[in-house]
Each structure stands twice: as structure tokens, then as C-alpha cells.
């Protein structure tokens, strides 16, 4: 019979056997999958695992702290945090094209990851080699990417949770047979905090693909504020379990006229994109209660500088994808 306890026991045993006395690394993205995969491997091989968290500056508010504090507190894992904000922002300078952004972010991520890996080896040269890479691949990922089903490649997905494809590692993928809800149950059983286990999906390229236009630090800060308000109000209204996720998008290249405080403003719109979905392959726009939308809209326009309009995306997928880029 399927129980989370059985899954954990089986995986722990097979990971131990596979890794032996070698070492492994795991990229953490702050997302559920990489967190649960890391916790599971950590349970199996303890200090032989080092987690790497690349802070690319495209994270949401509180995300880095969550990984640094909550995840480490819950698992006791060895964590290496790399501050790569400047590097990513430099690489993204002047770039507005979505695919180009995704490629740049993916490329920079691999570079930073390689550097971190070399540092880990250099820091403990006498130790066993780092031979394994942990990936939070789920069953739907396996199905989607396998077997030439002819699915059009709509976007270059970068699972920044750890997908340096051209790195030479043996893979550990302890979640390969599980669906998202099962992964959450396993994470819970492993003692991960609720805020990590129940997190909604968030794209690897982060807020970089939620700014329509060039990505700058100033725009990221603005979007971070708006996103934090939306998340806070959705949580307060008990909507987290009702929706699949709610991207908050900054239309940085668009301005509209508004009237705020003492007079006319010329600011940017923020788009709310709440969706309901089973697997993100298709989605419907969520019918959020008007009161919740009103609260979010009022707070964002009051509290976020340079934003004078909040609009709601009422497009299903297809034709619209969940993310705007
Ligand atoms: P789309 O926009 O293609 O998104 O309808 C489907 C789901 O995938 C997430 N997403 C990503 N996840 N790396 C990820 O790990 C990515 O590059 C990426 N792009 C989109 C998106 O948030 C949604 O849940």
C-alpha cells in the first residue's frame, strides 16, 4: 500500500545504496519540489549532501530568507547561498524579449551553479568527490518530456531548482514517481514547514518573466511589493487552497493616466493572473471574490509607488499561458 512513510523508507534506502560514501549537491529554488527532494536526500545521506541556493535577485519578497532560515532549521542541511543578483541583472540589461530573458537566466544559472560546485569541492578537497546531483523531477515532468508526444515547445522552461543539463553528474530523482499532492504529503511527513510544503508553483526564472519589458532592480522592487500584497491578501482571504497560483505581472512598458492624492499620475499597471488548474497544462481564470480583488487593488495602488492601476486577467489557458512571458 502507498503511504508516505513507505515512500520515504524506500527512497532513503535506495539513495544510501546508490550514493555510498560519495557526495551530492542539490539546487534549491525555494519551490516545493526541490525542497522535498533535498530533505529526502538529506535524510538519507546527511552531511554528504550540500544544497546550493542561487539568489538571482529575481526572487519574491521573503523567499531567500525562507530558504536560509526555515528550510535549514527544518532539515539541518548544509546550505551554500550564492548572491548573484548583480550578475543576473547585468546579463539581463536591455533585454525585453521573453525567450531571450529565459535563455540568459538559464545560462547564468548554470554558470553560477558550476562555480558553486567547484567551491564546494575546493573547500573540502580531501573528501569524497561530488558525483551526484539531486533533482526534484516529478512524474508529470517525466511524462511531459518523454516519448515525443509532439507537444509544442511553447516556452523554454528552466527549472532553476537544479537543471544544469550539461553538467556531468549522476542524477538522484527521488520524486520521479510522485504527483504534486503526494510530494507535498512526503514533505509534510519529513517535517518541512507548511509555508514551504504548501507553496504554489513559481517559475524558475522568477520575477524576471513577470516584468513585461526590461528587467531592472527598481522594477523588481516595485513588483516584489505588489506581489507581496497580493499574496498576503489571498492568504488572509483563505484563497491559497482555492487557486493554483496567481502571477502578479508588471507592465513596465505601459503607462496610463491616473489621479492619486494631489493630482495626475502617469504610472504602470499591475496585472493579477489568478488561475485554477489541475496540472498547469490547461487552466481557467479564478473567480476570486470581488472583496478580495478590491482589497488587493486598493492596497497596491495606495502602497506601491508608480502603480496607478490594477487589472484582472480573465483569459483561460489556452489561449493564454499562465505566465505572461
Ligand atoms: P505557462 O506559462 O507555460 O506555465 O502556462 C505553466 C506552469 O509552469 C510554470 N513555469 C515555469 N516553471 N520554470 C519553472 O520551473 C520555468 O521556466 C517556468 N515557466 C513557467 C508556471 O508558473 C506555471 O505554473
Please determine, for residue 154, whether its predicted confidence score (pLDDT) is greater than 90: no
CB atoms within 10 A of CB 274: 26
> Contact, 104 vs 91, CB < 8 A?
yes
ipTM of the complex: 0.99
Distance CA 103, CA 247 (A): 20
pTM over 0.80: yes
Q: Band the pLDDT of 126: cuts 50, 70, 90.
A: confident
What local confidence, expressed as pLDDT, does residue 167 receive? Answer: 67
* Smallest CA separation from ligand 1 atom 21, residue: 203
Angle between helices 98-123 and 85-92 (to 10 degrees): 150
Q: What is the pLDDT of residues 15-49, one digit of tens each?
A: 999 999 999 999 998 889 999 999 999 999 999 99
Cα three-residue angle 223-69-78, rounded to 5 degrees = 120
The residue whose CB lies within 8 Å of the most ligand 1 atoms, and thus the one to mutate among 37, 323, 324, 325, is 323
What local confidence, expressed as pLDDT, does residue 153 receive? Answer: 54
> Contact, 35 vs 192, CB < 8 A?
yes
Non-local (6+) Cβ contacts of 12 within 8 A are: 40, 43, 44
Cα three-residue angle 116-118-124, rounded to 5 degrees = 105
Residue 33 marked ligand-binding: yes
Distance CA 254, CA 266 (A): 10
Distance CA 78, CA 101 (A): 31
Phi, psi of 35 (to 5 degrees): -65, -45
Non-local (6+) Cβ contacts of 248 within 8 A are: 210, 223, 226, 227, 230, 270, 271, 272, 273
Smallest CA-to-CA distance from 56 within 90, 26, 83, 25 is with: 83
Which domains are assigned to the chain?
Answer: 4-197 (3.40.50.620), 210-312 (3.30.300.10)
* Smallest CA separation from ligand 1 atom 14, residue: 203
Q: Measured from the CB, is residue 66 less than 6 Å from ligand 1?
A: no
Q: Measured from the CB, is residue 205 less than 6 Å from ligand 1?
A: yes
Amino acid at each position: 500500500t502507498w503511504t508516505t512513510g513507505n515512500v520515504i523508507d524506500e527512497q532513503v534506502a535506495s539513495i544510501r545504496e546508490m550514493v555510498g560514501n560519495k557526495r551530492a549537491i542539490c539546487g534549491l529554488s525555494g519551490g516545493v519540489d526541490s525542497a522535498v527532494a533535498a530533505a529526502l536526500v538529506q535524510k538519507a545521506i546527511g552531511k554528504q549532501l550540500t544544497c546550493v541556493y542561487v539568489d538571482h535577485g529575481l526572487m519574491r519578497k521573503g523567499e531567500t530568507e525562507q530558504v536560509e532560515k526555515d528550510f535549514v532549521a527544518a532539515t539541518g542541511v548544509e546550505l551554500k547561498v550564492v548572491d548573484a543578483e548583480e550578475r543576473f541583472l547585468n546579463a539581463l540589461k536591455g533585454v525585453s524579449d521573453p525567450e531571450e530573458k529565459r535563455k540568459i537566466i538559464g545560462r547564468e544559472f548554470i554558470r553560477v551553479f558550476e562555480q558553486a560546485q567547484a567551491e564546494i569541492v575546493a573547500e573540502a578537497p580531501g573528501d569524497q568527490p561530488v558525483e551526484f546531483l539531486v533533482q526534484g523531477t516529478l512524474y508529470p515532468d517525466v511524462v511531459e518530456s518523454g516519448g515525443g508526444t509532439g507537444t509544442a515547445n511553447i516556452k523554454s522552461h528552466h527549472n532553476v531548482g537544479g537543471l544544469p543539463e550539461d553538467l556531468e553528474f549522476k542524477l538522484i530523482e527521488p520524486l520521479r514517481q510522485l504527483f504534486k499532492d503526494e510530494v507535498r504529503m512526503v514533505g509534510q511527513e519529513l517535517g518541512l514547514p507548511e509555508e514551504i510544503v504548501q507553496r504554489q508553483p513559481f517559475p524558475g526564472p522568477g520575477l524576471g518573466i513577470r516584468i513585461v519589458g526590461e528587467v531592472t532592480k527598481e522594477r523588481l522592487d516595485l513588483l516584489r511589493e505588489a506581489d507581496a500584497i497580493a499574496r498576503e491578501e489571498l492568504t488572509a482571504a483563505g484563497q491559497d487552497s482555492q487557486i493554483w497560483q496567481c502571477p502578479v505581472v508588471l507592465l513596465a512598458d505601459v503607462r496610463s493616466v491616473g489621479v492619486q492624492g494631489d493630482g495626475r499620475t502617469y504610472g504602470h499597471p499591475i496585472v493579477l493572473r489568478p488561475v485554477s488548474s489541475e496540472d498547469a497544462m490547461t487552466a481557467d481564470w479564478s473567480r476570486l471574490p470581488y472583496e478580495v480583488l478590491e482589497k488587493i487593488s486598493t492596497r497596491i495602488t495606495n502602497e506601491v509607488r508608480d502603480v496607478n492601476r490594477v487589472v484582472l486577467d480573465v483569459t483561460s489557458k489556452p489561449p493564454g499561458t499562465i505566465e505572461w512571458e
